[in-house]
Amino acid sequence: MTFTIDTLEELGAKAPAILKAFGDKRIITFDAPMGAGKTTLIKALCDAIGTNSIVNSPTFAIINDYETLSGESIFHFDMYRLKNIGEAIDMGFEDYLYSGSYCFIEWPEIIERLLPDERCNVKITVGEKGERIVEVD
């Protein structure tokens, strides 16, 4: 499924439809270049799910845990700074994956071997006019 987002204002309106495209899948990877809007999209998705948590990039923390209005967790990972897959294993990454909670994973390349086949991938590209093309598969 493909969504085109022309402005940040549209992002909030389209987030519920993007979330619906995930179906029952709770492990979502994000493939996009630096600055394309991964964290901004994740913030909109968390808002659509329903959270009062402040959603921001876990670049240095590696993981942020947000609480939904119903008390569930949403885990947001930024794997950009990991040096190897062992660091993800050491932090208990697989426990998060199989928790049943949403796991939004930026820069998943280094931990690809740990990811289950049953997941969604979100690819964000930047168009010629600055629009974001969001593909969910």
Which pLDDT tens digit goes with each residue over 75-114? 999 999 999 999 999 999 999 999 999 999 999 999 999 9
Q: What's the pLDDT tens digit per position in 83-92?
A: 999 999 999 9
Domain at 2-136: CATH code? 3.40.50.300
Instruction: Name, in order, each residue with C-beta under 8 angstroms of 78's C-beta and a sequence gap of 6 or more.
Output: 39, 57, 58, 59, 62, 63, 106, 107
pTM: 0.95
pLDDT per position as a tens digit, 41-76:
999 999 999 998 999 998 888 999 999 999 999 999
